[in-house]
Amino acid sequence: MGLLDYLQEQGIDLESSGGIVTAADNSQVEVVINPNNLDVTVAENDRKSVLVLHTKADSSRMVFDVHPCASLRVVDVYLGGCFAESVVRQQAGSVCDITSVVTSGAVVDYMVDMNGKQASNALKSIFLSRGEEYCKVAVRVNHNYSDCTSNSLVKGVASGKSKGEFNGMVYVAQDAQRTDARQNSRNIELGGEAKIITKPQLEIYADDVKCSHGATVGQLDSEAILYMRQRGLSEMQARRLQIEGFAKDIVYSSSAFGDVLAEELNRFLEEI
């Protein structure tokens, strides 16, 4: 069952602006559909889960304010070619997990501001582009205070004649000592005319920091395909399994919607 079917089954009118659902892990999740402007505030020590669904070509600006020691989970799904900008402002001790799935030619921009000590952010995103789409995910994490942790993992799959792009930046301010920032960009190009551009950047002004980033662009592992074919899988199946394996940790980083997001992934794979 895909995400849309699932939401409808949960009683959400897809033409409306959203509602509340009880997710697979029994958490209450606020569902927001195609917002042009969205402001979400999580009060001190409170917790919140939000699912934002973008199904059409539109623009969207979202602001997430996470107050001290509050916790926010965001699942941000792009099934339409949306231009989106998300600003996450995290105060001391807050935790924010973002899962982002982009299966359409969308341009998605995340800016995370660490505005207090010991805040932590984990962002996992996958973008899949096909046909002649252009798909871009940008992530900027500003470590403005000390002792914060951020971990961004953005995976891209470009097929057909499409172009996928990642633009990342980790900024560490001068006083932001003991920052632990990680950023990773992993990409696969499928087919002769697909393009990938990736820019994993660091700008660091503090010395007691652990910052690392990595980027790879490659294709499916031909050895692994050979191995799977030896066990009787067709080349198509082997390729698909590998892409699924590549993308899976991202979609399942959302405990609440892992299965339905995996189904969206499958649908994408069926069509390429």
Partner 1 sequence: MAEKEIIDNIEGEYKYGFTSDIETETIGKGLSEEVIRIISEKKGEPEWMLERRLAAFRHWQGMKLPQWAHLDIPEIDFQDIIYYAAPKATKKLGSMDEVDPELKRTFDKLGIPLEEQMALAGVAVDAVMDSVSVKTTFRETLAEKGIIFCSISEAIKEYPELIKKYLGRVVPHTDNFYAALNAAVFSDGSFCYIPKGVRCPMELSTYFRINAEGTGQFERTLLVADEGSYVSYLEGCTAPRRDENQLHAAVVEIIVEKDAEVKYSTVQNWYPGDENGKGGIYNFVTKRGLCHENARLSWTQVETGSAITWKYPSCVLLGDNSVGEFYSVAMTNNYQQADTGTKMIHIGRNTRSRIVSKGISAGRSQNAYRGLVRVAKGADNARNYSQCDSLLIGDKCGAHTFPEIDSNNPTAVLEHEATTSKISEEQLFYCNQRGLSTEDAVGLIVNGYAREVLAKLPMEFAVEAQKLLAISLEGSVG
Partner 2 sequence: MLSIKNLCASVDNKQILRGINLEVRAGEVHAIMGPNGSGKSTLASVLAGNEKFTVTDGSVEFLEQNLLELPIEDRARMGLFLGFQYPVEIPGVTMANFMKMAVNEQRKFRGEEPLSAGEFLRMMREKSAIVELDSKLTNRAVNEGFSGGEKKKNEIFQMAMLEPKLSVLDETDSGLDIDALRIVATGVTRLHNEQNATVVITHYQRLLDYIVPDYVHVLYKGRIIYTGDKTLALKLEKEGYDWLINDYKE
Give the binding site for partner 2 (CB under 8 A): 221, 223-224, 226-235, 237, 241-242, 244-249
- Nearest CB to partner 1, comparing residues 93 and 200: 200
Backbone angles phi, psi at 271, to 5 degrees: -90, -10
* DSSP string covering 51-94: EEEE-SS-EEEEEEEE-TT-EEEEEEEESS--EEEEEEEE-TT-
- β-partners of residue 238 are none
The reply to whether 132 sits near partner 1 by the rule CB under 8 A is no
Count the residues of the shown chain that bind partner 1, applying the rule CB under 8 A. Answer: 34
Least CB distance to partner 1 at residue 114 (A): 17
Q: Binding string, 162-181, against partner 1, x = CB under 8 A? A: ------------x--x----
Stretch that binds partner 1, among 88-96, 135-143, 192-200, 255-263 (CB under 8 A): 192-200
Main-chain dihedrals φ then ψ at residue 127, nearest 5 degrees: -120, 140
What is the closest distance, in whole angstroms, from the C-beta atom of residue 270 to partner 2 in the complex? 15
From the list 10-18, 32-40, 101-109, 207-215, the region that binds partner 1 by CB under 8 A is 207-215
Among 97, 113, 189, 264, binds partner 1 (CB under 8 A): 189
Q: Is 157 in the site for partner 1 (CB under 8 A)?
A: no
- List C-alpha distances in Å: 177 to 89, 151, 181: 19, 16, 11
Q: Residue 249 Cβ, how far from partner 1 at the closest point, in Å?
A: 19
Q: Residue 129 Cβ, how far from partner 2 at the closest point, in Å?
A: 20
Q: Is the dihedral of CA 270, 259, 16, 126 positive or negative?
A: negative
DSSP H helices in the chain = 3-9, 222-230, 235-251, 258-271
Which of 157, 163, 64, 150 has its CA nearest to residue 107? 163
Closest to 146 in 3D by CA, of 225, 93, 79, 196: 93
212, 227, 237, 267: which one contacts partner 1 (CB under 8 A)?
212
Both tokens assigned to 89: 């402002």
Does position 225 interact with partner 1 (CB under 8 A)? The reply is: no
Residues near partner 1 (CB under 8 A) are: 174, 177, 187, 189-219
